[in-house]
């Protein structure tokens, strides 16, 4: 790109103000923020009033602005902004993972039809350059697995519950530190991680998956008895997003996992994120870094702005390869199910039970279940029941009767 990038910035919150800071501190990028549009008229800001306004037309109808950077937390409003910007032949950089996951193919087509770029490195794990690496480094490799910790709030909470705190105590601490929103649902119920997983699946496997078709179950029902079980087995609880290729099928889901000490994510704690990519030729590689925050996320936005100076576009090469790959829920997985009420354990139908523990005030089962049996349960809304995946590989489901073998320990 021969011309200078003139940026219209939507949003001046945590990430927007971070971008303003890093853009003014770097000397290597020929770009300037020409106009900032914000929503809250009453909020005091650290920039001069003449730099910002409140009408999206101030950016979208400005012919001098050739790049729109969208950093707001309203996915519906972001959709209107991004689609109009692309139609007006302006490049777009976004960090809105919900917007992207729900409308990715449409946005890809809009950008292509209008001859502009649509980039969103900051939408997935902030400072970790995982999208660009999958697009470039792994372009000729056949990927078989993608998994990791995609949400910093949940990871911080699980780090604290592992240290002995209750879920409520850990959530309050995460809120006090600015990791958790006033309504933490998207984080602790694993929606945020699911949106990020859907985006990565497109780049890693070439498959478009709708968020509604991907199972997400979070951590809000974890109890210290569940943590104690993990410790007794030499395991640790982590919320993992996973996409695994099994022959011509792809399984993708987000759920708590009990992981062993040799797992890549075992030592990734607090607000850090980690992504493991496994390929046929490259084997297994781990990307680790800050998964959120003002400057880490702003640095990812800045990397996209820098890439636009060289006319960079995602090529989605995996999508151009003819494949019969499709999303499946037809597999089995080994799980732990714990509750203070023995009757709650009956809500899951086991193919085979390996452990069935009973005490005066706590009960758990472990064993294999059909993954599709989890889908109608709405586990995020089911109190006093905690489910976690045990460290066994998922297996394609063969026709098996639902027989329970009880083993009391």
Calpha distance 113→220 (Å, rounded): 43
Give all strands (DSSP E) within 361-406, no chain letters: 363-370, 386-389, 395-396
Calpha distance 300→95 (Å, rounded): 9
Phi, psi of 106 (to 5 degrees): -60, -45
Query: Do the beta carbons of residue 195 and residue 101 sit within 8 Å?
Result: yes
Which residue carries 């480094």 as its tokens? 137
Strand partners, 365: 337, 356
DSSP for 283-342, please give it: EEEEEEEE-SSHHHHHHHHHHHHHHHTTT-----GGGGS----EE---EEEEEEEEESSG
Instruction: Indicate the SS3 state at residue 182.
Output: coil
Whether 97 is a known active-site residue: answer no
Q: Which of these is catalytic: 196, 242, 334, 365?
A: 196
Q: How many CB atoms are closer than 10 A to CB 217? A: 24
Calpha distance 263→241 (Å, rounded): 14
Calpha distance 255→240 (Å, rounded): 6
Catalogue the active-site residues: 196
């Amino acid at each position: 790109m021969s011309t200078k990038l003139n940026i219209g910035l939507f949003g001046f919150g945590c990430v927007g103000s971070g971008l303003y800071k890093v853009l003014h501190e770097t000397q290597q990028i020929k770009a300037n923020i020409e106009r900032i549009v914000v929503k809250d008229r009453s909020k005091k800001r650290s920039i001069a009033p003449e730099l910002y306004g409140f009408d999206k037309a101030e950016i979208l109808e400005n012919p001098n602005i050739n790049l729109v950077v969208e950093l707001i937390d309203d996915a519906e409003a972001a959709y209107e902004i991004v689609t109009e910007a692309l139609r007006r032949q302006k490049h777009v950089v976004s960090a809105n993972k919900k917007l992207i996951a729900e409308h990715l193919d449409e946005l890809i087509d809009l950008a292509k039809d209008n001859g502009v770029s649509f980039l969103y490195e900051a939408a997935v794990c902030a400072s970790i350059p995982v999208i660009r690496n999958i697009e470039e480094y792994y372009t000729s490799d056949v990927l078989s697995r993608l998994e990791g910790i995609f949400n910093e709030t949940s990871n911080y909470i699980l780090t604290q519950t592992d240290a002995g705190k209750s879920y409520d105590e850990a959530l309050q601490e995460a809120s006090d530190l600015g990791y958790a929103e006033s309504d933490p649902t998207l984080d602790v119920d694993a929606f945020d991680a699911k949106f990020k997983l859907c985006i990565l699946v497109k780049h890693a496997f070439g498959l478009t998956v709708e968020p509604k078709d991907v199972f997400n179950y979070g951590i809000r029902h974890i109890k210290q008895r569940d943590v104690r079980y993990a410790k007794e087995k030499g395991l640790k609880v982590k919320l993992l997003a996973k996409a695994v290729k099994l022959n011509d099928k792809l399984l993708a889901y987000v759920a708590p996992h009990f992981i062993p000490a040799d797992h890549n994510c075992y030592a990734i704690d607090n607000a850090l994120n980690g992504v493991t990519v496994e390929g046929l030729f490259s084997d297994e590689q781990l990307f680790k870094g800050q998964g959120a925050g003002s400057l880490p996320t702003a640095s990812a936005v800045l990397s996209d702005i820098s890439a636009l100076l060289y006319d960079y576009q995602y090529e989605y090469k995996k999508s151009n390869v003819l494949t019969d790959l499709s999303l499946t829920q037809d597999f089995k997985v080994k799980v732990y199910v714990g509750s203070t009420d023995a009757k709650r354990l009956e809500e899951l139908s086991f193919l085979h039970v390996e452990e069935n523990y009973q005490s005066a005030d706590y009960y758990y089962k472990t064993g294999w279940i059909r993954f599709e049996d989890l889908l109608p349960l709405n586990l995020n809304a089911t109190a006093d029941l905690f489910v976690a995946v045990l460290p066994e590989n998922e297996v394609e489901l063969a026709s098996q009767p639902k027989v329970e073998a009880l083993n009391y320990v």
